[in-house]
Amino acid sequence: MTDEQARVLARDGNVAVTQLAGRAFPGIHIQGDTFAELQRQFADAVSRVRHARDDTDAWEALDSAVEDLTQILRFYESALEKHDVARPYFRDNAS
């Protein structure tokens, strides 16, 4: 383990946008319990869809998890914009 510091560019609940020393672009820090819940949602929904493609609850769970990730990505992009940092990727704003 090393003692490193990171700049916190923005923080909202269980998510933060952080800049590690020596990295060109900031990263997204998600609390472990929040990340574990997202992973569980995806894994459960994918498993259910594999067995019954018409399982509307599974599709709703996938939609919900994607929306959670979309909100985190929007938060990340907002923090980058606020600090005049270019995105490390191209993304169509229509998403």
pLDDT of residue 93: 58
Whole-prediction pTM = 0.82
Q: What is the pLDDT of residue 37?
A: 93
The label of the residue with tokens 């003692």 reads: 3
pLDDT average, residue stretch 40-67 = 88
Q: Which of helix, strand or coil describes residue 51?
A: helix
Q: Would the pLDDT of 41 be above 80?
A: yes
Average pLDDT over residues 60-66: 90
Torsion angle of C-alpha atoms 18, 31, 64, 68, degrees rounded to 10:
-10
Answer whether residue 49 shows pLDDT above 80.
Answer: yes
* d(C-alpha 63, C-alpha 89), whole Å: 23
Sorted by sequence, the CB contacts under 8 Å of residue 44 that are 6+ apart come out as 58, 61
Average pLDDT over residues 35-63: 89
